[in-house]
């Protein structure tokens, strides 16, 4: 029997060979200028507390993030601010909503804040409205820049009435405090592609293939330093946040061996890498970037049953005909992949609207009071067993945004394709994660979308 690793590789290879009209994605890329305009406040702060709890309805889990505010860039804020993010773990029950930002205690970040449909403060456009500060730098438009340079451009933009563009000084990119002689340099990386898997890759107590998880890469070059110390191997962003290698196996001045970062939902400090340049960052500066392509990313959670039944809300969408057939075609796309251990089964239409943890996997359009980020075209809201020794997904509900976007099954210009978006969202039901890298645009799980 082939391993899950092999099956997912086959899934990815076959899907990349399909011809579709638009990229598979469900979030619209929003420019930072628009995010600023749509935010009632912008802060620079440190995460001081975070906890998860059930919503008042008892149907959903939310996580509250509390910040000690270091600076208010826009609007009015107090010394302590909170935002609400859908998802989290309460007891042995976990909830994940695609495209939500992750925070961890002690993290410093620039956060854009707006209100959700319940008038609760949340992060504007989710992952796109958070810039993590690492070593006084943020990752912005593919570059690591000093956060002071970003804030200067942002403040000037706000002071001029939020018109035009945010102008950034890029003169300081990749500066190191020492001479060029001490700046690290990468000559080659082998292999130059592979998956990003869950992080418990070298823990002998890991119940899932101990010692075998993760893609090991070898980095050759110079000036890495004889020991790691505070140096890092930085992979390309995962939704705006750089993903540093969590498992360094060997480190010398000319050779580093590490594992490609993967994600574990019980620990928000772990992020999966996306395709893009890898850098070695030391006290001497930042190395040249060398390309690494992430084939797919998964924390390796799954449904316990091989046949996963989905139901479609009977109302469909008023925008187009044939939406039920299009979604069933998305089921078949995944189910027909060779060596797949899961098949999606159409259970028929239902009067139920998709809702949290009711024992059914439902798909439907929301035509009013869209509860997620406005840039989210579609969302997979899925639940899992929060026990760290379990990898079971218990429910997956898919929501399509009928408030902000129009839909098509015929390639109509200016609308989003039902089958394409549904296929992407069903990938999350298989626990495949979004990719945001520079060569990920044609992949099924690319995190951003373009319109027909």
**Pairwise pLDDT comparison (215 vs 43), residue with the higher score:** 43
- pLDDT of res. 205: 43
What span, in angstroms and rounded, lies between the C-alpha atoms of 296 and 327? 23
- 441 contacts: CB under 8 Å, gap ≥ 6: 23
- pLDDT of res. 57: 78
Q: Could you give phi then psi for residue 30, rounded to 5 degrees?
A: -110, 130
- pLDDT of res. 23: 30
Q: Sorting pLDDT into bands at 50, 70 and 90, what band is 214?
A: confident
Segment 78-88 mean pLDDT: 94
SS3 of the chain: CCCHHHHHHHHHHHHHCCCCCCCCCCEECCCHHHHHHCCCEEEEEEEEEEEEEECCCCCCEEEEEEEEEEEEEECCCCCEEEEEEECEEECCEEEEECCCCCCCCCCEEEEEEEECCCCCEEECCHHHHEEEEECCEEEECCEEEEHHHHHHHHHHHHHCCCCCCCCCCCCCCCCCCCCHHHCCEEEEEECCEEEEECCCCCCCCCCCCCCCCCCEEEEEEECCCCCCCCCEEEEECCCCCCEECCCEEEECCCEEEEECCCCECCECCCCCCEEEEEEEEECCEECCCEEEEEEEEECCCEECCCEEEEEEECCCCCCCCCHHHHHHHHHHHHHCCCCCCCEEEEEEEECCCCCCCCCCEEEEEECCCCCCCCCECEEEEEEEECCCCCCEEEEEEEEEECCCCCEECCCCCCCEEHHHHHHHHHHHHCCCCCECCCCCCCCCCECCECCC
**Pairwise pLDDT comparison (341 vs 226), residue with the higher score:** 226
Could you tell me the strand order of the sheet in which 248-251 lies? 185-190, 216-222, 255-259, 248-251
Query: For 12-31, how does the pLDDT look when each residue is reduced to its tens digit (9 = 90+)?
Result: 433 433 333 323 337 888 99
Judgement on whether residues 115 and 211 belong to the same structural domain of the protein: no
Query: Is 451 contained in some domain?
Result: no
Quote the domain boundaries for residue 39: 29-160
Domain end residue (candidates: 239, 273, 298): 298
- pLDDT of res. 213: 61
CATH (domain of 236): 2.60.40.10
Judgement on whether residues 306 and 414 belong to the same structural domain of the protein: yes
Query: Is 284 contained in some domain?
Result: yes
Place of tokens 């993030």: 65
Q: Sorting pLDDT into bands at 50, 70 and 90, what band is 423?
A: very high
Lowest pLDDT segment from 163-172, 197-206, 289-298, 437-446: 197-206
Query: Is 121 contained in some domain?
Result: yes
| Total Cβ atoms within 10 A of residue 195 | 21
Judgement on whether residues 291 and 347 belong to the same structural domain of the protein: no
CATH (domain of 59): 2.40.50
Domain count along the chain: 3
Judgement on whether residues 110 and 131 belong to the same structural domain of the protein: yes
Judgement on whether residues 33 and 121 belong to the same structural domain of the protein: yes
Query: Is 124 contained in some domain?
Result: yes
Residue 348 has, within 13 A of its CA and on its CB side, a CA count of: 2
Query: For 358-373, how does the pLDDT look when each residue is reduced to its tens digit (9 = 90+)?
Result: 889 999 999 999 989 9
What span, in angstroms and rounded, lies between the C-alpha atoms of 207 and 213? 11
Query: For 91-110, how does the pLDDT look when each residue is reduced to its tens digit (9 = 90+)?
Result: 888 888 878 888 989 999 99
Cα torsion angle, 127, 129, 135, 137, sign: positive
Is the pLDDT score of 5 beyond 70? Answer: no
Token couple for 322: 């044939």
Judgement on whether residues 375 and 413 belong to the same structural domain of the protein: yes
Judgement on whether residues 256 and 355 belong to the same structural domain of the protein: no
Percent pLDDT > 70 in the chain is 85
Is the pLDDT score of 10 beyond 60? Answer: no
**Pairwise pLDDT comparison (164 vs 268), residue with the higher score:** 164
Among the listed residues 213, 217, 197, 195, the one whose alpha carbon sits nearest the alpha carbon of residue 205: 213
- pLDDT of res. 238: 62
Judgement on whether residues 85 and 48 belong to the same structural domain of the protein: yes
**Pairwise pLDDT comparison (213 vs 9), residue with the higher score:** 213
Contact status, residue 45 vs residue 111, Cβ threshold 8 Å: yes
Place of tokens 């440190």: 46
Segment 380-391 mean pLDDT: 80
Query: Is 1 contained in some domain?
Result: no
Q: Is 34 exposed, middle or buried (0-12, 13-18, 19+ CB in 10 A)?
A: middle
Judgement on whether residues 97 and 139 belong to the same structural domain of the protein: yes
Among the listed residues 397, 310, 380, 312, the one whose alpha carbon sits nearest the alpha carbon of residue 345: 310
What span, in angstroms and rounded, lies between the C-alpha atoms of 237 and 140? 10
CA-based max dimension of the chain: 68
């Amino acid at each position: 029997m082939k391993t899950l690793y092999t099956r997912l590789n086959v899934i990815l290879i076959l899907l990349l060979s399909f011809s579709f009209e638009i990229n598979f994605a469900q979030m619209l890329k929003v420019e930072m200028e628009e995010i600023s305009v749509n935010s009632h406040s912008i802060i620079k702060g440190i995460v001081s507390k975070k906890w998860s709890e059930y919503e008042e309805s008892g149907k959903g889990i939310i996580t509250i993030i509390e910040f000690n505010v270091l600076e208010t860039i826009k609007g009015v804020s107090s010394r302590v601010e909170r935002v609400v993010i859908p998802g989290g773990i309460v007891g042995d029950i976990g909830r994940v909503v695609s495209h939500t930002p992750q925070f961890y205690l002690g993290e410093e970040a620039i956060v854009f804040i707006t209100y959700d449909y319940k008038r609760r403060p949340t992060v504007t456009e989710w992952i796109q409205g958070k810039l993590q500060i690492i070593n006084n730098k943020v990752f912005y438009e593919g570059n690591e820049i000093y956060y002071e340079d970003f804030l200067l451009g942002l403040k000037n933009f706000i002071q001029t009435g939020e018109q035009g563009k945010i102008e950034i000084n890029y003169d300081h990119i990749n500066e190191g405090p020492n001479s060029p002689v001490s700046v690290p340099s990468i000559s080659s990386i082998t292999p130059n592609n592979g998956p990003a898997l869950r992080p418990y890759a070298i823990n002998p107590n890991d119940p899932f293939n101990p010692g075998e998880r993760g893609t090991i890469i070898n980095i050759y070059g110079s000036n890495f330093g004889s020991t790691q110390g505070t140096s890092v191997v930085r992979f390309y962003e995962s939704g705006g946040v750089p993903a540093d290698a969590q498992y360094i196996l060997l480190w010398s001045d000319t050779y580093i061996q590490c594992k490609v970062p993967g994600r574990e939902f019980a620990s928000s400090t772990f992020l999966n890498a996306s395709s893009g340049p890898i850098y070695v960052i030391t006290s001497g500066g930042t190395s040249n970037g060398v390309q690494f392509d992430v084939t797919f990313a998964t924390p390796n959670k799954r449904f316990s049953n091989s046949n996963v039944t989905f139901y479609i809300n009977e109302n469909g969408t008023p925008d187009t005909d044939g939406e039920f057939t299009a979604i069933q075609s998305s089921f078949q796309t995944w189910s027909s992949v060779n060596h797949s251990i899961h098949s999606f089964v159409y259970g028929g239409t239902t009067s139920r609207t998709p809702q949290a943890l009711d024992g059914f996997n439902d798909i439907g359009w929301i035509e009013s009071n869209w509860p997620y980020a406005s840039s989210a075209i579609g969302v997979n809201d899925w639940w899992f067993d929060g026990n760290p020794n379990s990898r079971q997904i218990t429910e997956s509900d898919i929501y399509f945004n009928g408030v902000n976007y129009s839909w098509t099954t015929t390639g109509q210009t200016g609308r989003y394709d039902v089958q394409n978006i549904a296929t992407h969202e069903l990938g999350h039901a298989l626990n495949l994660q979004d990719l945001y890298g520079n060569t990920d645009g044609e992949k099924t799980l690319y995190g951003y979308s373009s319109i027909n």
